Amino acid sequence: MNEKSKKTKILFIVILLLTISISIGYALLGQELTTTGITNFDNASWNIHFVGNPTDSFNESIGSVNGTHSYSSNYKSLSFSDTLSIPGDYYEFTVDITNDGNIDGMLNSVPTIGIIDNKGTSDISDDTSYSNTTLISSTITYNTGGTLSQYDELKVGDTLTYKIRIEFKKDIQNSDLENLPLHLTFTLEPTYVQADSNATNVLKINESIDCDGNLLYATIPNNINGLAKIMAEQSVLDNSKSLFVNNCSGVKFNEISSDTNGKGVYEIASTKDDTYPIYYYRGAVTNNNVLFANFCWKAVRTTDTGGVKLIYNGTPTNGQCTNTTGDATQIRTSSFNSYSNSPAYVGYMYGSIYTYSNITANNLNTSYIYGNDVTWDGTNYTLTDTITSSGTWSSDYNTLNNNHYTCFTTSNTCTSVYYIYYADAPAGAFYITLSNGKKEEDAFNDMFTNENDSIAKTNVDTWYSNNMTSYTNKIEDTIYCNDRSINLMGGWNPNGGYISDHLYFNGRKRKWATNEITLNCTREIDKFTVSNVIGNGKLTYPVGLITVDEIIYAGISSGNNLYANNTYYLYTNKTMWTMTPGAYTGSTAYEFHANSSSNLDGLITSNSSVGLRPVVSLAPTNFISQGDGTSLNPYIIE
């Protein structure tokens, strides 16, 4: 047999035997214990042990190989064996450890997994011990993903779940196989001692702790189903300390998601008492992949009716959703609207177009008349409450905060009137032209009606029409918010609007503020829905785009921190549109987007071409037929 054949044969006969046992360090009860009256130490009971029927499998057993297991008669040790034949094979399981005594325990030290290669002989003199090997990796965590730490407490009546993973490494070299076959024994010996003042609480699923040390629990309503129920069962409150949130006041939304600032499923604490609380995925989660309608999606959050919003993430390969970056994660690139020269173009739909004009500072060094208001006689506008400029624009422009109307003449009458909404010394004046008796407030309202589809909406609707109509019965009609409510009117306010301020929408306020994000959509006209019962009824299909607030919940930072986040689940290394308006400056409409560095930036013009990722919402009646949400085994919707 040649050397290559020997190595191949050797590779397929690696047999592992894992024996796990609990070593109990029992502190003397009488030591440093002060009592009064009668104390009966005979009633003290120390009983920390594994949980399970010896003939049953572990609580959760997955992997490319199977294992066999058994407990010792006193449940103080556990053994299992499996065969890992080729690189990449792994075996992963969870096992419960409970405290059935009446003495609180805690870990005396951080447990480690020891590995012994017995060389296939009974002679212990040739045994080799490892902390790990070049061939095998082994890890132990809590089933929630948290690491084990010294002084982790196991209180009387509580149960903790360990997750153990043994894997044949993929990145091995031929030289690493020279010593095969390996005959390996794995041992884990967590040592518990009586808890003292050093003991720290081990937060479990749905459990968090506030700044006063009170344990809090996420809500799991009885009236939710499918993926929403799975999210609820995995969630913790977002206003307190939990497994991946170190701050006792909860998630800091002005910082990006991380292992200390959110990773997992969170319940918005302010919705805890709602009929359907809102749950959302945050951070570097890997279990929110969904296969639905022959497309891959990322679950984002639940809705206030118990549905689940999904964002497009490409097409599957052999039933797996492995797209992570690039063009494959979006349906196409597109502008939000064809132009950006009117405030109307921040709309997912829009009304009348009033485009800007600009007159330079040099052309304004004239004693023009400016009015606070106008009247209309059917033919002419007449300026009212007027002032006459000095003829020097650099000193005149900042006197116009209450006098935005002008004919750009020395007369106070004209057939069309001009409204200055932005001005400064070097740039001159930016204005719109009004006619037929229209005033600024008329034009402003006309621009933000819903009469014309944006380019983004047209492209999203076309994609839905071509691919999703047969699945509409599985999709709920929910609100997609194009929040055009105003944070700062600037010069668009005819009475005291500071003429050198731009027009800012409330999405920008929430982006730049700290912890002011919301999923509420305040204006009916901005609530895009199919039905006019819950919204504006302007959607043809139940599909939209993600909002700036949903992206902040997912893991991008609000406030002044434009930190890149290339680990949260929405990162694709591509820029994508949101549905949230940002601003209209002197001449340009801006929509929020998440850029390719995964910063949240509002300063992209509405006629730029970036990625579209449609969002749909699964109806509450949908159930998961199979899958665990990972990219290789996504949730499949019935």
Would 583 be classed as within a structural domain? yes
- pLDDT mean across residues, the chain: 86
Pair 483, 521: CB distance under 8 Å = yes
Would 303 be classed as within a structural domain? no
Final residue in a domain of this structure, among 194, 229, 250? 194
Amino acid found at 464: Y
Q: Residue 44 — very low, low, confident or very high, per pLDDT cuts 50/70/90?
A: confident
Q: How far apart are CA 405 and CA 422, in angstroms?
A: 12
Would 257 be classed as within a structural domain? no
Model pLDDT for residues 348-374, shown as the tens digit of each residue = 999 999 999 999 999 999 999 999 999
Would 292 be classed as within a structural domain? no
Q: How far apart are CA 430 and CA 588, in angstroms?
A: 11
- Section 49-54 average pLDDT: 70
Q: What is the pLDDT at residue 28? A: 35
Would 137 be classed as within a structural domain? yes
End-to-end CA distance of the chain: 52
Is residue 500 located within the same domain as residue 592?
Answer: yes
Is residue 67 located within the same domain as residue 118?
Answer: yes
Model pLDDT for residues 82-102, shown as the tens digit of each residue = 666 677 788 888 888 999 999
Is residue 84 located within the same domain as residue 24?
Answer: yes
Is residue 546 located within the same domain as residue 417?
Answer: no
**Taking 70 as the threshold, does the pLDDT of residue 22 lie above it?**
no
Q: Are strands 635-637 and 289-292 parallel, antiparallel or unpaired?
A: parallel
**pTM of structure:** 0.80
Would 58 be classed as within a structural domain? yes
Model pLDDT for residues 193-220, shown as the tens digit of each residue = 999 999 988 887 788 999 998 989 999 9
Domain count, the chain: 3
Is residue 576 located within the same domain as residue 490?
Answer: yes
Is residue 429 located within the same domain as residue 484?
Answer: no
Would 630 be classed as within a structural domain? no
Q: What is the pLDDT at residue 10? A: 39
Pair 522, 479: CB distance under 8 Å = no
Final residue in a domain of this structure, among 169, 194, 219? 194
Q: Residue 508 — very low, low, confident or very high, per pLDDT cuts 50/70/90?
A: confident
Amino acid found at 3: E
Amino acid found at 547: T
For the chain, count helices (H), then strands (E).
7, 44
Is residue 536 located within the same domain as residue 438?
Answer: no
Model pLDDT for residues 391-431, shown as the tens digit of each residue = 999 999 999 999 999 999 999 999 999 999 999 999 999 99
Is residue 511 located within the same domain as residue 383?
Answer: no
User: What is the torsional sign of CA 243, 246, 250, 252?
Assistant: negative
Is residue 441 located within the same domain as residue 508?
Answer: no
Is residue 567 located within the same domain as residue 423?
Answer: no
Residue 211 CB: number of other CB atoms within 10 A? 11
State which residues form the domain around 531. 335-349+451-465+477-611
Would 15 be classed as within a structural domain? yes
**Taking 60 as the threshold, does the pLDDT of residue 5 lie above it?**
no
CA nearest neighbour of 499 among 400, 387, 370: 400
Is residue 443 located within the same domain as residue 459?
Answer: no
Percent of the chain exceeding pLDDT 90 equals: 64
- Residue 158, both tokens: 């509580």
Is residue 413 located within the same domain as residue 528?
Answer: no
Final residue in a domain of this structure, among 194, 224, 246? 194
